[in-house]
Structure 1
Amino acid sequence: KALLRDFAGRRRVPGRGGADFEESPRLAVLSTRGDTPADWLVAGQALERVLLEATAAGLATSLTSHPLESPELRPLARDPVTGRGQVQMVLRLGYGPPGPATPRRPVADVLDVEPDAPAD
């Protein structure tokens, strides 16, 4: 049995646009052997790599830690075969419409570029 939260928004809201998403996204569970600050750091580093690889592969990602915040639910997310590991993050991976570009400041606003000094 898997934890499931329905964000599908089955009710139509007049005037609100929508987008088609794939019907079968994949879930991934990121876990560590322990649950110490060092394990959290390693999990964050691994998550960074997973997100970069997913982006490079054209995948959309969505993160959730909500089920992991409950002491009753967190153990249920462990490996069902071994029961080992501490789940740190649950990721949804799939394809969806591209999001809007995030606003960026011009480089000149944040970086001073000096011309090369003449060689001696």
Structure 2
Amino acid sequence: MRDFGAHRRPSALPALPCETHPALVLLRTAHDRRADWLRAGQALERVLLVATAGGVRASLLHQALEWTDLRGDLDRVPDGDYRGHTQMVIRLGYGPEGPVSPRRGAAEVIDLGG
């Protein structure tokens, strides 16, 4: 991925081959209630697990959802029709393998003794 802290000029931050054709996905719900937020979280979990199993990298782009006017724009398709409440913007694509997260072994965190 790009190193945003290494250079002061954007021209020194070229896109890598893995960034040339990412897909942006909108995760939407029919309503915007607490139950919809829960279902959106469950759907997001499924999307991330399936993407990982398929070797697809995912990035969550939540910044646009924090502004009411921008989120409203995401709720409409280019022809202007309303299509639901956008709960998350997901960037999907292929890229280099990242470092694994450190994990403790199951025996270190599970107490079978009661």
% same residue: 47
Aligned to 2:104: 105
* Distance in 2 of aligned mates of 1:27 and 1:8: 21
Which residue in the other structure is 2:7 paired with?
none
Identify the match of residue 43 of structure 1 among 26, 40, 43.
40
SS at match of 1:88: strand
Q: Runs in 1 of length 4+ with deviation above 4 angstroms?
A: none
**Mapped partners of 1:20, 1:48: distance in 2:** 27
> Of 67, 77, 85, which residue of structure 1 is paired with 2:64?
67
Which of residues 54, 63, 71 in structure 2 aligns to 1:57? Answer: 54
Q: 1:102 to 1:112 in 2, by over 3 A?
A: same
Q: Secondary structure at the match of 2:97?
A: coil
5+ long unaligned stretches in structure 1:
1-6, 115-120
> Deviations for 1:53-80, whole angstroms, at most 9, x for unmatched residues?
1111110000011101101111111231
TM-score normalised by structure 2 residue count: 0.78
- The residue number in structure 2 matching 1:92 is 91
Q: What's the offset of the Cα at 1:8?
A: 8.6
| Higher Rg | 1
Distance 1:21 1:110 in 2: 36
Contact kept? 1:19, 1:97, Cα under 8 Å = no
Query: Whole-Å Cα distance in 1 between the matches of residues 76 and 49 of structure 2?
Result: 24
- Code of the aligned partner of 2:63: H
Structure with the larger helix share: 2
On the 8 A contact 1:31/1:43 being kept in 2, the answer is: yes
SS at match of 1:40: helix
Distance 1:72 1:65 in 2: 14
**What letter matches 1:110 in structure 2?**
V
1:12 maps to which residue? Answer: 12
